[in-house]
Amino acid sequence: MPVRQRNHSRKNPFYRRNLRFVTAFLSLAIAALANQAPTVFAQDRQALALQFPHIFVFQGPSIKKVALTFDDGPDDLYTPQILSILKREHVHATFFVLGIHVQKYPHVILRIKNEGHAIGNHSYDHDNLQKASSWHILWEVERTERLLKKTVRVTTRLFRAPYGNVNNAMLRQLGKRGYQVVNWSVDSQDWRSLSAKQVLQNTLPAVNPGSIILMHCAGNPKEILTGTVQALPELIHTLRSRGYAFVTIPELFSPHTATVHAKW
């Protein structure tokens, strides 16, 4: 007598449960391989901005100004090239820097300061602080604070969480320390080692008055930011032709709104 085959059709509850398990497992595995923490979705950002109006921002006032922001620096490869373009184009940007890179490239962070750019704290080593304890968040922030003060005599109250990941407890903790937590409204996704064309496609259509544009000036050794460097002049020229002015984060929010009690 032939062995009866077990029914593995999609209507089988056992099959469906296992399919869901396998799908979830694969999703987690893919996320782990990509080394990407979950991001805060637009609707979550809006809710947080309403709940913490003096602490959390991701979009500026509706004025014909935009803020270029660069994360994960400094380094001695891409950051100097970006600084040279910004200097040539007479643009001031905001650099959210890692303490570990401030420590490694003190001459570059000094150049960022001397050329008139705003500086923000981006944690010490880019840990996912959304999953961290309150004491670890404080350690990451304070260590970078001390390095900035020691290296370039800068005290900043701008903070951007790694991956943009924030939660209510983190915002309350940082708000008590006088920080403004800054996310973004336009994501270039340049950390994916994109071409200049792809960087421009991700940014230009999404820009509107008050946009905060996320780009990178450094990253891990696998991230190639040549596309960012090559796209930057065209990005600046195109937005200027549309009537936009480039400002730092402090300039974007002052004096039009009193969003934060921190000292810039």
- Candidates 101, 117, 122, 216; catalytic one: 216
Element (H, E) at 45: helix 42-51
- Please report, for residues 62, 69, 174, 237, the alpha-carbon distance to residue 216 in angstroms, rounded to integers and kept in the order given: 24, 8, 23, 19
| Nearest of 3, 38, 36 to residue 191 by alpha carbon | 36
- C-beta neighbour count of 155 within 10 angstroms: 12
127 is catalytic: no
Instruction: Reply yes or no: is the peptide bond before residue 13 cis, omega within 30 of 0.
Output: no
Q: What would the two tokens of residue 147 be?
A: 């390095």
**Distance from C-alpha of 131 to C-alpha of 53, rounded to nearest angstrom:** 23
Q: Which of 71, 72, 75, 190 is catalytic?
A: 71
Residue 190 among the catalytic residues = no
Q: Kindly list the catalytic residues.
A: 71, 216
